[in-house]
Amino acid sequence: MSSPILITGAGQRIGLALAEHFLAQGQAIIVTYRTRHDAIDILAGKGATCIHADFDSDAAITHFIEQLKSHTNQLKAIIHNASSWDCEANNQDYATLFDNMMRIHAKTPYLINLAAADLLLHYQQNTGQAADIIHMTDYVVEKGSPKHLAYAASKAALDNLTKSFSAKFSPAIKVNAIAPSLIIFNDHDSEEYRAKTIKKSLMEIEPGCTEIINSVELLLNSRYITGRSLPVDGGRHLK
């Protein structure tokens, strides 16, 4: 079995698509989930190591790291996908909202990267190939968001950590980010919302998770890209 890839937040949507992709390749994976959707049972049945992790406190993050290290002594890559789309309109306890966004999107990757660096370095030493960290950020890093202020700020913090960790861990570990805009709609999204959102990009499509999978594979297979953010936004910055 190959050295595992860790994917956080793999119970649905992009994280789940990545998990299924790697399992189909015969790649060992460790995934985290907050809610045990049926998809987690399916992933476990296919051989994935599935760890419940809410990342709702420092203690919870520390506990997850202890669990991770009980399952493996090396990692090929970490993909930080766990995320929350909470916003000011839905949560008027602004102080708690800001803390939650920063903890999920910046503090959790920060602590995991530092604590799991030895697992990534072990892979690099055993294979002679650089290990990888990939942060899933967001298009809003580039322009901010008046409706998701705390969310945008936390993703911007993660974008900055991409640069810092790249400088800290090179050349043994490559550290990059992927910054998507619309990838897939939610089932409950209205037709009006879908039509409006599609028009925000030049390409005017719902691209699907394959776009993220291809971007992840590009970064994993590259020997030379580090400290960069890969935009997957359909040219949205030009509209």
Catalytically active residues, by annotation: 151
Neighbours of 70 (CB within 10 A): 9
Q: CA–CA separation, 47 vs 1, rounded Å?
A: 10
Q: Is the dihedral of CA 98, 207, 31, 128 positive or negative?
A: negative
- List C-alpha distances in Å: 201 to 49, 186, 187, 216, 235: 37, 18, 20, 21, 6
CA 130 to chain centre: 19
Give the position of tokens 């992009």.
Answer: 14
Give dist(CA 67, CA 72) in Å, integer. 9
